[in-house]
């Protein structure tokens, strides 16, 4: 006999925004919206039920996350969506969750910002040379997060929530890239970025490796809404650049045009310098007060690890054509993102000269990459300097390298 779907309220803190049925595998149906609290319904699902289904599915841990399949099997879940339901769809990025219709639990009983939790997707340690000892100062239960890298949410001894991230393959470069990007922002005197710190962690085969951590910038008073979700509130054309639609939505929510252009200009130029190929629409977000629904501005820059040619083999680094790099962002050609920049001088070229000794912490066989990474970065720096002098470098066909 087939199992019956169970009814749940989708809650925004203690406000029920809809009643829906959820199956054993985590799929939703029969969504009935609460018209008296429609303003609290997720922005990404307000246009129609199809987009609400997409919002729901995007909430789950991606199936492609490293180790997710094994973790699901060990925990007895049939899918990442069923794991999402079992954990009441709670997140450390916003204040949405699901409440079984027949249970009278409250936000204060379950939210991850004030209640203990355990992240079941991995175990982790840090060596004695670091200030924070994750073994003695954290309490561990499950939470959801986006992205495909190994990740683990933890609670520090002072109650702050923080996220640990690992790397793909045998390299630590993605974690080192986060530290490198943070140093660049620090040197620029730019304050609105997420700080990352190195941690020691156990990787495959019980080998000690290097990861990074960052503190959660969300709370019960601040939640994040991704650019992807905001773009679900309007119709966009196939193959259309997402820059102008995103700008339109942000301004309609009350973000000042100068605030928008200054933040995005700076992010585009610094992403260009570090060759961040992954500034997709889930890696840009705005912050909102979940009680008043007031938009508070952009979330601090985060997730810059997929940069600095991290996935390019060493013997191919000499053949990279800088004007032909593709990226996941508003448009695919990286150099053409610079067309959107209005204030070319927001990045101080003199303060963008970087120390590459940070990458000496990578595994031994990867350290041969450091001079080549430095050379490529300096070439990017020269191109950005030309751009600031007024050269539209996307039109520069004299040197494709």
Q: Domain coordinates of the chain in residue numbers?
A: 6-110, 223-395
**pLDDT-derived band at 287, boundaries 50, 70, 90:** very high
pLDDT reported for residue 132: 31
Q: Percentage of the chain with pLDDT > 90? A: 68
pLDDT tier, 400 (very low <50, low <70, confident <90, very high otherwise): very low
Helix H or strand E encompassing 15 = strand 15-22
pLDDT grade for 87, boundaries at 50, 70 and 90: confident
The CA distance from 201 to 67, in Å, is 15
Neighbours of 211 (CB within 10 A): 26
pLDDT of residue 58: 87
Stretch among 192-206, 279-293, 371-385 having the lowest mean pLDDT: 192-206
Which residue, among 287, 240, 229, 262, has the nearest Cα to 340 in the 3D structure?
262
CA-to-CA separations, 268 to 3, 216, 254, 315, 368, in angstroms, rounded: 49, 23, 22, 28, 28
Q: What is the 3-state secondary structure (H, E, C) of 231-275?
A: HCCCCCCCCCCCHHHHHHHHHHCCCCHHHHHHHHHHHHHHHHHHC
Burial class (CB in 10 A: 0-12, 13-18, 19+), 124: buried
pLDDT at 145: 46
Least confident of 7-21, 201-215, 247-261, 317-331: 201-215
Instruction: State how beta strands 207-215 and 161-165 pair.
Output: antiparallel
When mean pLDDT is compared across 43-47, 121-125, 164-168, 318-322, the lowest value belongs to 121-125
The predicted-structure confidence for 345-378, as pLDDT tens digits, reads as follows 999 999 999 999 999 999 988 999 999 999 999 9
The per-residue pLDDT for range 94-108, each reduced to its tens digit, is 999 999 999 999 999
Query: Helix-strand-coil percent breakdown of the chain, rounded to 5?
Result: 35, 20, 45
Quote the mean pLDDT of the chain: 86
Q: What is the CATH number of domain 223-395?
A: 1.10.1070.20
The per-residue pLDDT for range 99-151, each reduced to its tens digit, is: 999 999 999 999 999 988 765 443 332 222 332 333 333 333 333 444 445 77
Tokens at 182, concatenated: 């943070």
Mapped onto helix, strand or coil, the DSSP state of residue 167 is coil
Task: Quote the pLDDT of residue 140.
Answer: 30
């Amino acid at each position: 006999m087939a199992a019956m779907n169970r009814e749940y309220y989708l809650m925004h803190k203690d406000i029920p925004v809809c009643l829906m049925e959820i199956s054993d595998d985590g799929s939703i149906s029969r969504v009935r919206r609460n018209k008296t609290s429609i303003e609290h319904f997720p922005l990404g699902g307000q246009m129609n039920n199809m987009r609400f289904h997409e919002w729901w599915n995007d909430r789950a841990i991606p199936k492609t996350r490293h180790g997710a399949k094994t973790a699901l099997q060990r925990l007895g879940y049939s899918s990442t969506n069923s794991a999402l339901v079992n954990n009441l769809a709670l997140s450390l990025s916003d204040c949405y969750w699901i409440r079984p219709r027949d249970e009278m639990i409250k936000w204060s009983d379950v939210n991850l910002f004030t209640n203990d939790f355990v992240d079941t997707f991995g175990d982790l340690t840090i060596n004695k040379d670091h200030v924070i000892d994750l073994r003695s100062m954290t309490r561990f239960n499950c939470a959801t997060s986006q992205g495909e890298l190994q990740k683990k949410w933890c609670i520090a001894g002072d109650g702050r929530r923080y996220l640990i991230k690992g790397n793909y393959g045998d390299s630590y470069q993605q974690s080192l890239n986060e530290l490198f990007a943070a140093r660049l922002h620090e040197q620029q005197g730019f304050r609105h970025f997420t700080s990352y710190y190195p941690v020691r962690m156990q990787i495959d085969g019980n080998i000690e490796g290097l990861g990074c951590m960052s503190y959660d910038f969300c709370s019960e008073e601040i939640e994040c809404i991704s650019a992807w979700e905001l773009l679900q509130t309007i119709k966009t054309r196939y193959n259309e650049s997402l820059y102008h639609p995103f700008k339109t939505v942000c301004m309609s929510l009350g973000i000042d045009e100068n605030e928008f252009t200054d933040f995005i200009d700076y992010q585009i130029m610094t992403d260009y310098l570090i060759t961040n190929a992954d500034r997709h629409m889930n890696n840009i977000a705005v912050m909102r007060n979940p009680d008043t629904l007031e938009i508070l501005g952009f979330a601090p820059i985060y997730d810059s690890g997929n940069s600095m040619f991290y996935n390019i083999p060493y013997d191919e680094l000499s053949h990279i054509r800088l004007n032909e790099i593709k990226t996941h962002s508003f448009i695919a050609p990286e150099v053409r993102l610079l067309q959107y920049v209005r204030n070319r001088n927001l990045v101080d070229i003199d303060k963008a000269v970087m120390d590459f000794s940070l990458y000496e912490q990578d595994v031994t066989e990867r350290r041969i990459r450091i001079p080549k990474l430095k050379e490529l970065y300096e070439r990017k720096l020269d191109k950005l300097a030309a751009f600031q002098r007024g050269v539209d470098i996307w039109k520069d066909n004299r040197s494709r390298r």
